[in-house]
Amino acid sequence: MGMWRFLEKQWSQATLGLLAGRTIASYERDFFTLKTVSLPKTQLAKDLEKLCKEKDGFLTLEEFYQEELYGEHGYYATKYRNVLTNTPPRWAHSMLHLCKLFGYHFFAELGPGDGRLAIMTLIEAEKAKYDLSWGGVEIAAPMREAITQNFKKYGFTAKKEFLVSQVKDMKVKDPCLFIFPYGLDSISPEVFINTSEHLDVPDSLVGVTIEKGILTEIILSPKQLASRGVSIKKGIYDDGKIQVDLSSWKLVPMQRAYIAPKVLHAVKDVVEKLPSTSRLCIIDEFRTDRGNYVSSHLLAPRNLLATERDCVDLVDGYERIGKTDYYFPFYLKSFLGFLKSLGIEVEYVDSEYYAAQILSTVKELPKETKLPGAYSQVIITAPLKGKKLAEKLDFPLDPSDLRTRIRS
Ligand SMILES: C[S@@+](CC[C@H](N)C(=O)[O-])C[C@H]1O[C@@H](n2cnc3c(N)ncnc32)[C@H](O)[C@@H]1O
């Protein structure tokens, strides 16, 4: 056993012993092992098994979650109303105010749900006699249908410039405020893992096979990764579309980190498509600290409907497929590091709840911003001009200095 492994084991055992009276054996069995699970006998499980066959006999976990959440029999197909938030009534007035402040006559959203924020903002704009139109990127078909109906109901169909399911299909002519309203943390992650015997960067992804209703987690081989266009070498993830530097993510053996390349794709694609005087406004749940770093998986899924939101019991998670509103918030600091590597300057970060009120009245963005301890944050960027996209993007894991001011 290497020195690191020995120290980690001692440390983990001591910590967990203190916290929960666990032994190292039960801790490793529960957390840091691959799972085998009998799936429920549902149509969704059958769809997943079929998809698995079609895709060379395995799925990456991003593919698995995507089907579980957004597939024909997935969570969003049946329970889509559960995922809507109370952002729209709190933000509509502020959104109009921000559009006026920056001189935008167009705003757009990724993950608009049933279009409530759009409708409420357009109602405010109409009252203020301010010319404003909207565009949306929404992956869930039932949501798109609801948006179309709502725009018709409120007489705003002519104000809808586009409604598409993917960023690549949108066409933006005018500079805009592009809003991500609780959309990014609904995008499915890949599950990165360190399979080495010591503290190290992730070197592969977890995947699953599903046969006769039995799901088995596997470590994807370099060949399997290559079949999806992916390589992971020395902490650098490359999928042909983006290269991400994950070398600061030091994981203990068999520890996982749930990181969504699709989030990075989505933000990068949006930035590339927007006129350079546009701004991003990200309203989302983030994690402001890393909790107990070595005793759990990093950024494990959260279940919105559970009191204990972090999904520590991975077996239970599989057994409940299609019944759980999973979402995947990431560390605020990692996301800010990523924006920086995209060449995007952040102008304002604050607690979402207060920011909505403050921003509905200010004449310019407040100069002092802070990283709040609260879950939900709003991030507003400077105009995207001068956007120089780095070759290798950053998604740093840096526990220090999480709560310091950005602009002090
Ligand atoms: C938690 S809901 C929030 C809905 C709405 N913005 C609200 O605040 O009520 C997340 C939304 O993001 C959408 N979504 C998830 N992944 C997406 C993707 N890759 N592209 C576009 N929309 C996505 C979901 O379908 C859903 O409508």
Averaged over successive runs of 10 residues, the pLDDT of the chain (408 residues) comes to 50 47 55 92 97 98 95 84 84 97 98 96 98 96 94 98 96 96 94 94 97 98 98 96 91 92 94 95 85 74 74 84 87 89 90 90 83 81 76 68 31
Cα end-to-end span (Å), the chain: 45
95, 265, 73, 313: which is closest to 166 by C-alpha?
265
Pairing verdict, β 133-137 and 106-110: parallel
Cross-sheet strand order for the sheet of 177-181 = 160-164, 133-137, 106-110, 177-181, 279-285, 376-381, 346-351
Give the other-Cβ count within 10 Å of 276's Cβ.
11
Query: With b meaning 16 or more CB within 10 Å and e meaning fewer, what string describes 4-32?
Result: beeebbeebeebbeeeeebeeeebeeebb
Chain segment 261-311, per-residue pLDDT in tens: 999 999 999 999 999 999 999 999 998 766 656 667 888 888 877 766 777
Residue nearest to atom 8 of ligand 1 (CA): 85
- In short, whether 393's Cβ falls inside 6 Å of ligand 1 is no
Please give the number of the atom of ligand 1 that sits closest to the Cα of 85: 9
170, 165, 189: which is closest to 264 by C-alpha?
189
Please give the number of the atom of ligand 1 that sits closest to the Cα of 187: 16
65, 58, 397: which is closest to 255 by C-alpha?
397
- In short, whether 87's Cβ falls inside 6 Å of ligand 1 is yes
What's the pTM? 0.88
* SS3 of residue 216 by DSSP: strand
267, 261, 260: which is closest to 339 by C-alpha?
267
Residue nearest to atom 18 of ligand 1 (CA): 139
Residue nearest to atom 27 of ligand 1 (CA): 113
The widest CA-to-CA distance across the chain, in whole angstroms, is: 71
- In short, whether 317's Cβ falls inside 6 Å of ligand 1 is no
Give the Å distance between the CA of 182 and the centre of ligand 1: 7
Residue nearest to atom 11 of ligand 1 (CA): 111
Q: Cα–Cα distances in Å, from 84 out to 100, 143, 370?
A: 26, 10, 27
- In short, whether 187's Cβ falls inside 6 Å of ligand 1 is yes
- In short, whether 143's Cβ falls inside 6 Å of ligand 1 is yes
pLDDT score at 9:
47
Pairing verdict, β 177-181 and 160-164: unpaired
pLDDT score at 323:
86
**Percent helix, strand, coil in the chain (nearest 5)?**
35, 20, 40
pLDDT score at 407:
30
pLDDT score at 316:
85
Question: Which of 107, 139, 162, 264 maximizes ligand 1 atoms within 8 Å of its Cβ, making it the mutation to test the pocket?
Answer: 139
- In short, whether 217's Cβ falls inside 6 Å of ligand 1 is no
Q: Cα–Cα distances in Å, from 86 out to 90, 133, 295?
A: 7, 22, 33
Residue nearest to atom 17 of ligand 1 (CA): 139
- How far apart CA 88 and CA 47 sit, in angstroms, is 34
- In short, whether 60's Cβ falls inside 6 Å of ligand 1 is no
Residue nearest to atom 13 of ligand 1 (CA): 111
Please give the number of the atom of ligand 1 that sits closest to the Cα of 188: 16
Please give the number of the atom of ligand 1 that sits closest to the Cα of 109: 6
Give the other-Cβ count within 10 Å of 3's Cβ.
8
- In short, whether 110's Cβ falls inside 6 Å of ligand 1 is yes
- In short, whether 270's Cβ falls inside 6 Å of ligand 1 is no
- In short, whether 138's Cβ falls inside 6 Å of ligand 1 is yes
pLDDT score at 237:
96
pLDDT score at 68:
93
Task: Dig out the tokens for 84 from the structure.
Answer: 């809507």
- In short, whether 27's Cβ falls inside 6 Å of ligand 1 is no
- Side-chain half-sphere CA neighbours of 352 within 13 A: 20
* SS3 of residue 179 by DSSP: strand
pLDDT score at 85:
87
